[in-house]
Amino acid sequence: MERTLVVDDSPTMRRMIIASLREVCTGGFVEAATGLEACEQLALGPVSLIMLDLNMPDMHGLEVLAFVRRHPTLKSLPIIVLTTRGDEASRSTALAAGATLYLTKPFTPQGLAAQVRELLQPA
Amino acid sequence: MTDDVFAAGFMDDYFAECDEHLAIVRRLLLELSAAGFGEPGLRPTVDQLFRSFHSIKGISGMVGLRDAEALAHHLESYLRLLRDRDARPTEIGINALVACVDALERVIAARRDAQPPPAVDDVVEQLEHASTLAPAGAELAAADAAAPDRQRRVTFVPSPTLLARGVNVDTVRARLREVGTIVDAAPKIVGGAIIFEFVFAGAIDEATIASWRDDGIVVAEAPPPAGAPLEPAADSATPVGPSHVVRVSLTRLDDLMRMIGELVISRARLDDALTHVETHVPPVEWRAVQENVQVIERQLRDLREGVMRVRLVPVGELLRRVPFVVRDLTRDSGKRVRLDLRGQDTEIDKFLIERMMDPVLHLVRNAVSHAFETADQRVAAGKPPEGTLTLAASSIGDAVVLEIADDGRGIDEAAVVARARTLALDVPDPPLDRALLLDLICRPGFSTREETDRASGRGVGMAVVKTTLEDLNGRMSVETAAGAGTRFVVELPLTLAIADALIAHVGDRMFAVPQANVREVIELDPAALRRIERHEVAPFRGGALPVLRLSDVFALTPRPGRVLHAFVIGAGADVVGIAVDRISGQREIVVRSLDDSLIKVPGVTGATDLGDGRAVLILDLAALVRRQAASLRGITEAAS
Amino acid sequence: MITARGAETFILFTVAGTSYAMRSRDVAHVEMLEQVTAVPNAAAFVDGVVFSRGQVIPALNLRARFGFERAPYDVGTRLIVVQTGGRSVGLVVDGAREFVAFDPALIRPPSAALAGLSGHYLEGIANVGDRLILVLDLAQVLLFDDPVLQEHL
């Protein structure tokens, strides 16, 4: 497995996500605090999974999602959208834009790890 | 690992991040409340506020702080409402926001200090009430869409090599913002590679364009695409020209200060070495050497001052919360208070700002809550109905002076004396010596009002104000007149890092005593010392000076000569002499703090290097005296 | 520093004739001990403060900490400067020279049979090849409840 990209503007949140997924994501982590930084990380090295927050200061998470889905080789990357207590509208918008999974905060570390482990199982 | 244990490991991060968000929120609220009608460009402020509350809500939920999460949720909802209606908050709305943010801060602080959280129902109700009101007149307007300068397309291609050199999309954005405005920023896919395209408005010269090419940044001419600016320049709504300001990290400044400290030590070593060779050098050559040494000393001082100046920030930052506090406390109280802030540009070390924030706010709260009379009472006393609270800052030489003055009722000396006597303290009748008065009101547990302060979530009393000042090597004094008002004057040294110190010897040990708090240095004849119970006293200026021997305090073997030397510290009735074998002179020292709890002992505030790599302890004589007095009290109480 | 698969590097040092180990990643550097300035009224096992790389740090005497009799410093005495939990502390030991790498999974908790004060400061014991290595619990060594400070609160 290659690196997991964790995108969230809160450093505390990023650390919590990484701590929760340390056992499951064996290829290490890279972090981004804004949408543009996330795209830059994708340009700089191989990524196997993206954990994506929606609420970010420059590019909205959905725009990042749409961008990745347009890319010829990255478009099939698993992308898990993690955002605060969702309403149905956001959920369906995110799934329609190409999110592989839509999870809401707050999450428990075991819950998150379980969901990601299941997602990464070979089909 | 349980969820609680998991969250516990992130609490420090959580508190730090909340602090950052709350500082931003306070600044934005001030902007909102200060903005006049019809003023454009409030949209980014509302957006940023919304995002900050949203973030606080998210991490609060993650660490299990439900109260904070709920409060942040209410705040976020109110901001979303404003955003959706494209409206600005009313006066009532701003008050509600401020009240809720205050409550949020207290809830988070309660968790940090392991205190029970305060009740927040009333502030939530306030906010909900504000939500039901009709939006205020003028709508939020976005900043002007058309930028006056020519617009160009700037492309940036990221790469690992550039990243290693510190060039990434963030630094490129910062560079562009320094010289103009970013109208649009987006990632693009070019043949499977990811690059970034900016639409940029601003002036850049050919030389800069050429140098940026090495960093993967290509500037081209481009027709401006239509659209509102995506990214307004950092702190204002209007495009700015090239910036003359550079952001510096505090760590870099600390490094610079450390290097200068080392220069100071090297110069001292040079001095020492030169004294050894003085006799071998012909006078004419010697004079030339001396002159050069003096020039270096002057230049070093200038350099030191220059770097210190970089750490300085305007004291206005310390005072930014004061308008909120005053506004909060005067509402519904029948009191009207006008805030007079002076000398806000006076500069003060960033470290001091953080330490002084709570003490200053406490003094302000005291003044507004207790010193000021109601408007009616004031009129009846022949005063203007509106009270004036003055916060003035100025710098005098090496110190910053902060004044907190009110024209209220003045300190009730009779009440202070009565309270002191109920605490079995022996005090004369009023009028009291001002130093004694200050001493009394700063005693722990003196003011019963501190209980109410604590109930409102604040644990700061005058005692803490006093100890904070002592920690920072500062001083405080008070002036007060019945019916006229009260004035607190706080003096803080501008820098903590380099000080003038006297070198004391006891036995074969050396200690450094910062000169700032020493009143004088005297000689004592050991034969003239008299024992009175547990104390020694020496005849001094017609009176008796209590004398404490440092050798006793530290259990060292002294090696006295014909006379003892002593430091005289304290004032009025508190004067004490600390006796040592010998005081050998004055040196400029670089103060290194003793941070670890293993070596935090009362009376020792740091260590310094006098030139040979050995650590010499820096003493706080006043603290030693206090500790000695406390332990003596303990002994006499136990014995009685 | 990870060397072979799963192995971690430890530094070996001696206190009162016994060898102990601590993780290299906690160690900033090792110095010869020159001057220690005593701090009056500090805890008995704190020899004082030293200057190390421009910073003033405490010098904690491990012989004293473990309950052994103090010995005068000699040419072998070393100061191991550790950095952990935001603190920089110097540990005074009789000697420190060797490094060893092994899998930390080999560390077993100390048995109750290990009496004496030093057992309190052990994370555990590792059986590496034919050696028995006592691994230090650094956090426990550095923990400190100061009665003097309490008096001031």
| CATH number, position B454 | 3.30.565.10
Cis peptide leading into residue A106 (ω within 30°): yes
Segment among B465-474, B559-568, B627-636 with least mean pLDDT: B627-636
Mean pLDDT of the region B612-627? 84
**CATH superfamily label, C8-139:** CheA-289, Domain 4 (2.40.50.180)
Backbone angles phi, psi at B506, to 5 degrees: -135, 115
Interface residue of C39, C60, C62, C79 to substitute, partner B, most B CBs within 10 Å: C39
Contact residues on chain C for B599, CB-CB shorter than 8 A? 39, 42, 46, 48-49, 58
- Residue B467 pLDDT more than 70? yes
Q: Which of B597, B615, B630 sits opposite C50 (nearest CB)?
A: B615
**B458 or B43, greater pLDDT:** B43
For residue A17, give the chain B residue with the closest CA.
B62
Could you tell me the two tokens for B505?
A: 């010897």
To the nearest whole angstrom, how far is the Cα of B231 from the nearest Cα of chain A? 8
Return the partners of chain B (3 or more C-beta pairs < 8 Å): A, C
Of A10, A39, A57, the CB nearest to B59: A10
Residue B231 domain flag: no
Same domain, B455 and B508: no
Domain with B563, as residue range(s), is 498-639
Q: Which of A21-30, B81-90, B442-451, C104-113 has the largest mean confidence?
A: A21-30
Name which of B597, B603, B607 is nearest C56 (Cβ-Cβ): B607
B86 domain-assigned: yes
Burial class (CB in 10 A: 0-12, 13-18, 19+), B629: middle
In Å, how far is A1's CA from the nearest CA of chain B? 20
Hey, of A16, A50, A52, A105, which one would you mutate to test binding to chain B, going by the most B CBs within 10 A of its CB?
A16
Per-residue pLDDT for B233 more than 70? Answer: no
Contacts of A42 in chain B (CB under 8 A): 194
Q: What is the pLDDT of residue C80?
A: 94
Q: For residue C149, what is the nearest residue in chain B, using CA coordinates?
A: B601
Ranges of each domain in chain C: 8-139
Q: Out of A16, A70, A105, name the one closest to residue B10 (CB).
A: A16
Please give the average per-residue pLDDT across B218-237, as a whole number.
47
Share of chain A above pLDDT 70, in %: 94
CA distance linking residue B120 with residue B100, whole number of Å: 8
Among B2, B4, B5, B13, the strongest candidate for a mutation testing the A interface, having the largest count of A CBs within 10 A, is B13
C-chain residues within 8 Å CB-CB of B265?
Answer: none
- Whether A113 contacts A24, CB under 8 Å: yes
Q: In this complex, how many residue pairs, one in chain B and one in chain C, have their CB atoms less than 8 Å apart?
A: 75
Pair (B279, B396) in one structural domain: no
- Does position B224 have pLDDT exceeding 60, yes or no? no
Say if residues B439 and B425 touch (Cβ distance below 8 Å).
no
pLDDT surpasses 60 at B209: yes
Cross-chain residue pair B598–C149, CB shorter than 8 Å: no
Q: Shortest Cα distance from B324 to chain A (angstroms)?
A: 27
Q: What is the rounded (10 degree) CA torsion for B98, B100, B106, B107?
A: -160
Q: Which residues in chain A have their CB less than 8 angstroms from residue B54's CB? A: 55, 84
Q: Using a CB-CB distance cutoff of 8 angstroms, which residues of chain C are in contact with residue B604?
A: 39-40
Report pLDDT for B231.
40
Residue B233 falls inside a structural domain: no
DSSP B159-196: -HHHHHTT--HHHHHHHHHHHEEEEEEEEEEETTEEEE
A17-26, A57-66, B163-172: least confidently modelled range: A57-66
Residues B306 and B330 in one domain: no
For residue A123, name the pLDDT band (cuts at 50, 70, 90): low
Helix (H, G, I), strand (E, B) or coil at A3: strand
Contacts of A12 in chain B (CB under 8 A): 10, 13-14, 17, 59, 62-63
Nearest residue in B to A59, CA atom: B186
Based on the domain organization, do B85 and B36 belong to the same domain?
Answer: yes
Partnered with residue B401 across adjacent β-strands are B394, B491
Whether the CB of B13 is below 8 Å from some CB of chain A: the reply is yes
pLDDT band at B227 (very low <50, low <70, confident <90, very high): very low
| Separation CA B581–CA B503 (nearest Å) | 11
Number of domains in chain B: 5
Mean pLDDT, chain B, rounded, equals: 79
Best to test chain C binding among B258, B596, B605, B618 (most C CBs inside 10 Å): B596
Chain B, window 592-611: residues with a beta carbon less than 8 angstroms from a chain C beta carbon? 592-604, 606-607, 609
B558 prior amide bond cis, ω within 30: no
Give CATH superfamily name and number for A3-120: Response regulator (3.40.50.2300)
For the cut 80, the answer to whether the pLDDT of residue B162 exceeds it is yes
Which of B95-99, B411-415, C77-81 is the least confident region?
Answer: B95-99
pLDDT at B541: 80
pLDDT digit string (tens) for B256-315? 777 877 787 788 778 878 888 888 889 888 888 888 888 888 888 778 777 777 777 778
Would you state the pLDDT for residue B246?
A: 65
How is chain A split into domains, by residue range?
3-120
Interchain contact B192–A (C-beta under 8 A): yes
Kindly tell me if the per-residue pLDDT of B397 is higher than 70. Answer: no
Q: Chain B residue with minimal CA distance to C33?
A: B614
Q: How far apart are CA C39 and CA C31, in angstroms?
A: 20
B554 touches chain C (CB under 8 A): yes
Closest residue on chain B to A8 (Cα): B55
Distance of residue C83 Cα from the nearest chain B Cα, in angstroms: 12
Q: What is the pLDDT of residues B580-604, one digit of tens each?
A: 999 988 877 777 777 788 888 888 8
Question: Are the CB atoms for B492 and B399 separated by under 8 Å?
Answer: yes
Do residues B474 and B326 both lie within one domain?
Answer: yes
| pLDDT tier for residue A60 given thresholds of 50, 70 and 90 | confident
Nearest-by-Cβ selection for A11 from B9, B13, B51:
B13
Stated pTM of the model: 0.43
B188 contact partners, CB below 8 Å, separation of at least 6? B194, B195, B196, B197
Chains C and B touch (3+ CB pairs under 8 A): yes
C18 touches chain B (CB under 8 A): no
